[in-house]
Amino acid sequence: MIDNIIMDAKIKDKTYIKYKVELDAVNKYINNTFIYDIFYNYGFTINNTIVPLDSNINVYEACFISQLVKIYINTYKQKNKLNILEIGFARGTSCLIIMNQVLQYKYLKSYDIIDPYQTVQWKDIGVTNVNNFLHFMNKKLNITSRKFNNCSTKIKKKI
């Protein structure tokens, strides 16, 4: 009954109808309401303002990366430490996709992101988005924007 009500609401929703295939893929492969809302609204909510997506991976790339990370973790979960290096951050979309899977893995050692323009060009929006995501997921990681060879944002597990 509830599923029928939800589907009725979705059928009436023009955004959902237009992007049904993509949004259903996000539900199936990423399965996170925070990330779903980003693709549904085509932007992030920061201080009650929608910041539109740009310079981001598309829905299909997001689903692929999510599944790739999940398979990697499930294949190599016997390793006691997981290190991740991401090149480029922008608004943090791909980081959220990766972190959605990685946060289920208790042995994350570090997640480093190199982006020389995070503060200057992107006004630390990527860092803000990741912090909002972590708050939503009720996870405690230390997320800061800091210089690393003058060009990095570092995300590091709190010890």
**φ, ψ for residue 49, nearest 5 deg:** -125, 135
Quickly count: other Cβ atoms within 10 Å of residue 132's Cβ: 17
Percent of the chain with pLDDT over 90: 28
Q: Nearest-CA neighbor of 97 among 125, 140, 126, 138?
A: 126
CA end-to-end span of the chain: 46
Minimum mean pLDDT range among 4-8, 12-16, 64-68, 104-108: 4-8
Query: When comparing pLDDT for 3 and 106, which is higher?
Result: 106
Instruction: Give the best-scoring range by mean pLDDT among 1-10, 28-37, 50-59, 107-116.
Output: 28-37
